[in-house]
Amino acid sequence: MTEASDTHADLVRADGRAPDELRTVAIERGWSAHAEGSALISFGNTKVLCTASFTNGVPRWMMGKGRGWVTAEYAMLPRATNTRNDRESVKGRIGGRTHEISRLIGRSLRAVVDTKGLGENTIQIDCDVLQADGGTRTAAITGAYVALADAIEWAREHKFIGQRATPLIDTVSAVSVGIVDGTPMLDLAYVEDVRAETDMNVVATGRGLFVEVQGTAEGAPFDRRELDSLLDLALTGTAELTEIQRAVLAAAQATA
């Protein structure tokens, strides 16, 4: 528990959690019968289906370089929220938020991939939000890593990737943090997210290295002390998420 959370240790959030407590996180591997890797991840009531599709070969601009490619797309189902939203494909254009999150997921995954170890192969990650209650992008990144790991093992079993190759050099996960009513909080649900004075999404590797930090003062600016407390809180959360990811993947290996 961080120094900041010690100050508010007796505070209980709307869903009964402590300020430095994640929502209940569940990852169901192999949810899709067709994708080479898949995971249905839940951060509380936020649920995201992550699928990883493997293709032998790379985009034309990468051919002959001996490196692979990992990319991602993100989308929300029309009734993932309280009111129905039109599908962006029907609107005829992809929204800026969707583009931003898709690129974020791709960057986050590529940060822990050795593209030489992947060989000239492509893995396309699709993250579809089934139900949204805050933290959809962070849940997507965390679940996408599990789907990616399974797709890589599928490719190894089918001899597209060498038996001794190590395309994954670390794990990656993400979590939201924020200051709500003056209290730093971990893994914000929607009711907290909309009230946050400061809102931040943090992507980190299993070794505790930052991949991306997206922080915004929704009201008054935050100071360095508050920033440090939020980053410490986020790393506590991503460390827990890393253990959950590893446990899920280890269980898969044990039953293989």
- pLDDT of 1 reads 43
- pLDDT of 2 reads 45
- pLDDT of 120 reads 96
- pLDDT of 252 reads 66
Sequence-distant (≥ 6) Cβ neighbours of residue 51 within 8 angstroms: 32, 35, 37, 38, 125, 126, 128, 147
Q: Helix (H, G, I), strand (E, B), or coil: what is residue 218? A: coil
pLDDT 10s digits, 140-156: 999 999 999 999 999 99
- pLDDT of 12 reads 74
DSSP percent split of the chain into helix, strand, coil, nearest 5:
35, 30, 35
- pLDDT of 8 reads 55
- pLDDT of 127 reads 98
- pLDDT of 246 reads 97
pLDDT 10s digits, 90-138: 677 778 888 899 999 999 999 999 999 999 999 999 999 999 999 999 9
Please identify every stretch of the chain with a pLDDT value under 70, giving residue numbers as ranges. Answer: 1-10, 90, 252-256
Neighbours of 24 (CB within 10 A): 11
- DSSP state letters, 56-115: ES--GGGTTSS--EEEEEEEE-TTSSSS----HHHHTS--HHHHHHHHHHHHHHHTTB-H
